[in-house]
Amino acid sequence: MLPFGLRPPGPSAPTLDILIQPSIDFGQAWQRRIEKIVGGDHIQLAHIDDLIALKSGTGRLRDQSDIAALERLKQLGAS
């Protein structure tokens, strides 16, 4: 997988990660998605297992620490 990040100017601007050749099947990930209502808006979130799978193939240190945090959340019962 080839990841790269897009970040607008500004010290607190969020980074948007773009994944080329992701390691998961989109259709299967879409079926496992989590639907939430936030501020009255319906949003779709990737399942924690899919996030871990996506971050596992990047080779980036940032993703390794994210995987550790996601694994801790999973142990606490987050999905």
User: 3-state class of 67 per DSSP?
Assistant: helix
Q: Return the domain boundaries, the chain.
A: 25-79
Per-residue pLDDT tens for 27-63?
A: 999 999 999 999 999 999 999 999 999 888 788 898 9
Round to whole Å and give the CA distance between 7 and 49.
25
Per 3-state DSSP, the chain is made up of helix, strand and coil in percentages (nearest 5) of 40, 25, 35
Match 């993703």 to its residue by tokens. 63
pLDDT at residue 45 in the model: 94
Round to whole Å and give the CA distance between 48 and 13.
24
Q: What is the mean pLDDT of the chain?
A: 88
